[in-house]
Amino acid sequence: MKNNFKSLVVVGSQWGDEGKGKITDYFAQKAEMVVRFAGGDNAGHMIEFGGARHKVTIVPSGIFNRHVKNVIGNGTVVNLTNLVAEMKKINEAGVDTSNLFVSDRAHIIFDWHCQIDALQEESRKERIIGTTKRGIGPTYADKASRYGIRICDIEQPEFKDILKENVDYHNQIITQLYNGTPYVFEEVYAKLMDNYNVIKNNIVDSGEMVAEAIEENQFVLFEGAQGVLLDIDHGTYPYVTSSTCSANNASTGAGIHAKHIQKVVGIAKAYQTRVGFGGMPTEIIDETAHRIRERGREYGSNSGKPRRIGYFDAVAMKYAIRVGGIDELFLTLLDVLDTEKEIKICTAYELDGKCIKTMPANDNDLKRCKPVYETLPGWEQDITKVTSFAELPINAQNYMNRIKEIVGAEFLGFSVGPDRKQTIMLKGEFE
Ligand code: GDP
Ligand code: IMO
Ligand code: MG
């Protein structure tokens, strides 16, 4: 496998769980560095090779390629307890984590952030977002309002005072606004330092590290979590996550300038899934949905909850390509559709009697959108052992070609199973 360019961003182009972890791990075989640039352990990326299945949430998906430096960038939010636990699990699987680096500028997710996340969800009642309760929203809110604590703060002489004030501030919110459980400073400090001491040697000025790798002409992968439709600005607000999880944030979240980004690959599932609440025009709740869910193992990797299922939404995809600056797509989970007699692609929405081809801004309007479908015949055969586009049944080729035509983007490759080997490149750049 050779590659003709030196920086590549991998992002989700739908509502998350598109197989970013699998594809990042695949590209990482040829990379020198993988940088996670946004989100926290709300992500759940499954990676399979050699008969084993691994899950990472905050550790970059390049970790199983031992030559790769894996960087948790400044744009992420990090729960140190969960990071240490994840590193331990990776070590127990026989994989070394000495090539894992954590940005000194990343914000820390504390237990109060998780509690506030859960309390806010409860208070939203019927407008519940369905967050992962990993404290993502409250941590990014603190970052924006300058109440956040970063990893680089821990070694400062006045840190204990800052943390004490921070505990008091959050205790007030928790007890006075929500009637929740307050925290004891000494316990918070002891727990933080226990975790900090484990990762202390992995902390770096990550922007500098990434810049150096770029300067040395190394191949750097920028790994996104979530997906464009969950982006705080471009996503289906308010049913989104709290970071800019599209490629627009790859440079800022990795600590380098945007001019260093060469290509953006949007990972696209061959159908649609969604974990949380919010509009999803192509959602189906029938036998087909059930079959797809079981075949695609569409259950939340963190929550175990069944994912919502729908047909491929080309309107949403076109939107994601436009606002997310996606150059090429990588189609995943195509094999999941092996059993379908016919497959639908949503080419437009009908809203209040009008045919529209863009996503409306407001979620109430999105919920009222009725999908306009084009129906294609399925291929009804096993494609999991296919190794080239030409080997695909003609109806599977047609399905990919039709998506390509409608959304106006090329495929860089496609995937026909969860294993690293079940990955097929279409373009010479990575052969
Ligand atoms: P991510 O969050 O984008 O990394 O995606 P997840 O790991 O949460 O969800 C994708 C799921 O699909 C995981 O269980 C993967 O192992 C699996 N997967 C990835 N690509 C394929 C594929 O081409 N075919 C099948 N059957 N499963 C796949
Ligand atoms: P990966 O990286 C799918 C969704 C949650 C919820 C919304 C806000 O595995 O694709 P948050 O906890 O971030 O405040 O939740 O975003 N969500 C995801 N859905 N995959 C993910 O990550 C997600 N991360 C967050 O379900 O709707
Ligand atoms: Mg996932």
Q: How many CB atoms lie within 10 A of CB 10?
A: 27
CB distance 293 to 307 below 8 Å? yes
Mean pLDDT of 149-154: 98
Protein residue whose Cα sits closest to atom 13 of ligand 2: 241
Q: For the chain, what percent of residues have pLDDT higher than 90?
A: 96
Coil, strand or helix at 281: coil
In the predicted model, what is the mean pLDDT of the chain?
96
Tokens linked to 44: 């759940």
Distances (CA, A) of 279 to 107, 225, 240: 30, 20, 11
Is the pLDDT at 2 greater than 60? The verdict is no
Per-residue pLDDT reduced to its tens digit, 96-150:
999 999 999 999 999 999 999 999 999 999 999 999 999 999 999 999 999 999 9
| Backbone Cα Rg of the chain | 21
Give the 3-state secondary structure of residue 249.
helix
Which ligand minimizes its atom distance to the CA of 18?
Answer: 1
- The whole-angstrom separation of Cα 33 and Cα 218 is 8
Q: What is the predicted pLDDT for the residue at 1? A: 46
Residue to mutate, 76, 230, 245, ligand 2, most ligand atoms under 8 Å from C-beta = 230
Q: Which ligand is nearest to the CA of 128?
A: 2
Residue 381 Cα to ligand 2 midpoint, Å, equals: 32
Can you give the pLDDT at residue 301?
82
Q: Omega of the bond prior to 393 within 30 degrees of 0, cis? A: no
223 CB within 6 A, ligand 1: no
3-state secondary structure of 147: coil
Give the model confidence (pLDDT) of 200-217 as tens digits: 999 999 999 999 999 999
**Residues 113, 215 contacting (CB under 8 angstroms):** no
Tell me the per-residue pLDDT of 393-431, one tens digit each, with 9 for 90 and over: 999 999 999 999 999 999 999 999 999 999 999 976 664
Mean pLDDT of 295-309: 92
Verify whether ligand 2 is closer than 6 Å to residue 16 (CB atom).
yes
pLDDT tens for 328-369 read 999 999 999 999 999 999 999 999 999 999 999 999 999 999
- Residue 3's pLDDT is what? 58
Taking the CB of residue 52, how many other CB atoms lie within 10 A of it?
11
**pLDDT value at position 430?**
60
Helical packing angle, 159-172 and 185-199, nearest 10° = 130
Q: How far apart are CA 124 and CA 43, in angstroms?
A: 22
Cβ atoms 106, 38 nearer than 8 A: no
- Give catalytic residue positions: 17, 45
Give the pLDDT of residue 303.
82
Distance CA 4, CA 195 (A): 40
Domain architecture of the chain: domains with CATH: 7-102+204-262 (3.40.440.10), 108-198 (1.10.300.10), 264-425 (3.90.170.10)
pTM of the model: 0.97
Model confidence band, residue 302 (pLDDT cutoffs 50, 70, 90): confident
pLDDT above 60 (res 9): yes
> Which of 17, 275, 277, 280 is the pocket-test mutation for ligand 2 (most atoms within 8 Å of CB)?
275
Q: What letter does residue 287 receive in the DSSP assignment?
A: H
Give the pLDDT confidence score for residue 427 in this predicted structure.
Answer: 77
Question: How much distance in Å is there from the Cα of 41 to the middle of ligand 2?
Answer: 9
Q: What pLDDT digit, counting tens, does each position of 236-285 carry?
A: 999 999 999 999 999 999 999 999 999 999 999 999 999 999 999 999 99
| Range 289-305 average pLDDT | 93
User: Would you put residue 144 in left (φ > 0), alpha (ψ -120 to 50) or beta?
Assistant: alpha
Q: Read off the tokens for 148.
A: 């956040």
